[in-house]
A and B are shown apart, each in its own frame.
Chain A
Amino acid sequence: MTRANGPIDIADTWDLRAPERVLLAWCIVCIALGFLMLWGSTHVGGEVIDTFNLLPLGLYALSLLMLHLLLVTARFRGDQLILVAVAFLSGFGMLAQYRMGSFDTAGTISLNLVLFPVGLVLMGTTAVILMRGRYQAILQGHWIWFWAALSLGLLAVLLMFGERFRGGVYAAGLVTPSEILKVTIVLFVAGFVSRNTKSLSSWGKGLPIPPWRALLPLAGFWLVLAGLLVVQRDLGLFIILSIALLTMLFVGTGRLGYLLFGGIGAVAMAGVVLTVLPHGERRVTAWLEPFRDPTGGSWQILQGLSGMFSGGLWGEGFGRGNPEYTPIAQSDFIYSVIGEELGFAGCAIVILFFLILFGRSLLVASRAPEHDGRVVGVGLVTILATQTFLNIGGVTKFVPLTGLPLPFISHGGSSLITGFIGIGILLAVSDGQPAAPPRNRIAKQAKGVRVQGKGVRRNRRPSAD
């Protein structure tokens, strides 16, 4: 094999990843400008800036450097633009969180401060561990049932021992372990779909009836999941997971019917859920008629919008707004803080980076050599894109508020880490297979793939050696 199948030594990888290096450097420059803006504002405001404040920026630069070196030494061939987009977004998130005082250090290094750097490196590590097609291993055999059991078990445990806060259930310290479901469920569904592709895509002839027998395990699982999530009032997560499920079924089987039936089911279920949960209905009313009860149900959203209005086109810069008047600004409403301090332009930039991330991830998913890689990729992109859409759409009153964090920018440990791990898996998919796979491999049975996968792993050096 030639270069078409990827670099063979570190020097090649160093050359290959040159664009990434340059772009990451620009990321650091850009985020550093943001930090300068912020430091200047607090300094004029009377606060003394000590060297300790430089720590977040230093950690950010250091983590990007480590991430890059890690990928080069591992001879990683995967996508570079996804990486840069995530690096920029998390740097931006770090800046926003720093501005909101989330890293209130007071002499000690807070956990939040290291979350972004650790997450970035974790993303690289996940990618390296699962690269060269190794991600397939966790989609096969008993692994998928492990993911399914882990998801439901976690929810059940959370329900038993969690604390209620603001309508949702959290574990101690407002950590939301259910965030990890965004990865485990995608792994489970992707494994399930690619294992049963044939039966799942054999719809009834003439009448468009989905194959009930094949769907049964999935439907049962989903019912239990829905029950657990509804009891925890985590509707947002359920919406995201369901959309991902339908998209993965559609992409895995090529049957548009899954989306159609899913859409009909979603509308029906929305009706039922809204009548059962007063919580949801209030949010819809606050969305449709925000001025009916402006100081009650619509207070959050109108405060966020009025903050954005004061930002205008360019904003006044980091540190110059009053985001403290926006409720829950650090987590759900961080987008409105961006709108307030960096204006419409700042929001547009964030959205552009998200679009690059999604577009590029979709490209990776579509080119994944393996069927399950494709489904996993699409699942992960769907999760991220839906979450982003629901958060930004909710804050701008485009759609009802669902209470979801904005990926890579909002405050929140589990949400951030899950996002980074998801992107890590996507990056691993983009690394491709160790050797050029035969074209007809997808048609083979799952067992055959596994045997071949094992053989390939043992034999890491491609034939070019």
Chain B
Amino acid sequence: MTSHLNPELWSLIRVALHAGFFFTAAYLLRSMFDARRDTELKHLPRPKWSVRIPIVLLTLVFIGILIYQATWQLIGASRPEFIAFMQLHDRRELNPAHRIQRGRILDHRGEVLAYSEEILGQVYRLYPDGPAFTHVVGYSHPWFGASGMESVANVRLNGGAPDGLGDWGTLGRQLVTQDKRPRGQDLTLTLDAELQRMAFGLLGEQRGAVVVLRPADGAIRTLVSTPSYDPNRVTASLFQDSGPSAALLNRATQGLYPPGSTFKILLAALALEQGFSGTLECPADGFTTSSRYRKIRDHEFYAARKRGSTWPGHGRLDLATAFARSSNVFFAQLGVRYGHHAFDVMAERMQFNRRMILHETPYGSWSMRTGEIPRLDASDRYGLAQMSIGQGAALVTPAHMALIAGAVANRGLAVRPRLIETDEPTPLAYFMSTSVAERLSAMLRQVVTSGTGRGIDTPRLAIAGKTGTAENPHGAAHSWFVGFAPVDRPQLAVAVLVEHGGYGSTTAAPIAQDLLLRAVDLGLIE
């Protein structure tokens, strides 16, 4: 028996032995059935009771098990979550689940972001663009499981649950032909691949996030978070990194940052809502609620001090001018003036302190965090003043800022952001009244034409927006830009955050401008 066995010959013999085994077992079963008469227990008396009922019951129970077993073993492909489990966690090369053509993931123009390819009998999941789309598309890996849309939409990508008569016909065919290769369905995202790639390129080595969405229907065109990683090469080291530069963290939807001056959009909305039309005195010396606390001053004060000169102060400012110049003194006063209650009502109305579901299936959900505004103690007026200028306890996610900008652009109505093209657009809430939104967009436009954002004003596109420079204890300030374009019929809202990027006007705003201009070229803005 030690001689060499020819594999080709063996495969023939193996099939013969396999069939022989079944035939012999079947023959044995038949012979046992036939031998009932010969082996009758003649020496025993007539039965005291009938065994028919228990035998029938036992048989039915075990047939039930076999039928149930068949729903896994033979037509398990009809359970997409089961297929998903096997694709992710089964290491058997023979498992047919590995040969299932999982659906592709596409952008809204049909460009392929993820597809499956069979190489030598093993199916691999490939991501042509790699890191730029990872935070949305995710990865699907036999050992590390799946993330992002790969995970949430797993069931659809694997073929979906059978719900129509036609699907059951397919199942029957599978059963007969032993073909276990259902094709999965493609998944079309609302992303624009070009814009996404560009945003990823613009952020480059810097840590940050970009969110671009359509205010009217919530379609997310760009959702970038850097640093990123290559979904084609997921490694264990990725999961060990949990520091500030962790690549796994989706900064756009989960990262909480001090909003800086972009938060003044909310304060301006609050003031307009409350009917503010007067002016406030904004001295160069700044504003504080108590002499025990450091004074809140304007940017110009520090700039002048740096130059060695003194700055006379803004004097009396109206809301629009203060907004365009981004006066801290003005908005700190404004927040204190309206008080904690009005502030909390506004935060509640704009849906702070929540987790917003963007796409949900029974097997997972894709969600974003909204900003965090803690309820301050009624006596903590200085904390309120700090929050009013986007510092202190207030934190926001870039996605939430994009949603707020979108609400302003959409005449006050916020539409739930969505990532799947086929999901229905659903209105979320009025973040502010229509008239407030209209006046606010005029003010945002003024920021770009004559305020802190004038560096990105261009005759090609009427951009409206607000820059932000968020101080933080860990180094250089975060750079923000939040806005939309074009101002008279807004089609895209944008939020850009660059960690430690410095001034919003010099880092984040140009990125937003580049993206919006590119969107015009791409036909996303007409």
Contact = CB atoms under 8 A, between A and B. Distances in A.
Interface of A: 3-6, 18-20, 22-23, 26-27, 29-30, 33-34, 36-37, 39-41, 43-44, 48-51, 77-81, 84-85, 88, 291, 294-295, 299, 302-303, 305-317, 320-322, 325, 339, 342-349, 351-356, 358-359, 362-369, 374, 385, 389, 392-393, 396-398, 430, 432, 437, 439
Given A41-B14, A349-B22, A366-B49, A305 B43 contact: no
B338 interface: no
Given A88-B28, A322-B94, A339-B73, A6 B81 contact: no
Contact of B70 (A27, A344, A369): A344
Given A84-B32, A309-B82, A312-B74, A29 B48 contact: no
10 contacts: A5-B43, A37-B18, A40-B13, A80-B35, A291-B85, A306-B82, A306-B85, A309-B180, A365-B51, A366-B50
B95 interface: yes
Contacts of A294: 85, 89
Contact of B24 (A30, A363, A396): A30
B58 A26 contact: no
B59 interface: yes
A81 B343 CA distance: 84
> Which 9 A/B pairs are nearest by Cβ-Cβ distance?
A310-B95, A30-B24, A366-B47, A367-B44, A396-B69, A6-B43, A19-B35, A80-B39, A309-B76
B24 A33 contact: yes
Contact of B72 (A44, A308, A430): A308
Task: Give chain A's interface secondary structure class.
Answer: helix
Nearest to A17: B39
A396 B44 contact: no
B78 to A, nearest CB: 11
Given A312-B178, A347-B66, A396-B72, A23 B49 contact: no
A305 B76 contact: yes
A315 B25 CA distance: 15
Contact of B46 (A36, A41, A44, A367): A367
A308 B73 contact: yes
Contacts of A44: 5, 7, 10
A362 B5 contact: no
Interface in B67-105: 68-70, 72-74, 76, 81-82, 85-86, 89-97
A438 B89 CA distance: 65
B21 A30 contact: yes
Contacts of B7: 44
Nearest to A350: B25
Interface in B94-150: 94-97, 145
Nearest to A439: B45
B20 interface: yes
Contact of B58 (A6, A355, A393, A437): A355
A439 B48 CA distance: 11
B73 A344 contact: yes
A88 B91 CA distance: 32
A179 B95 CA distance: 36
Given A80-B35, A308-B73, A344-B73, A30 B25 contact: yes
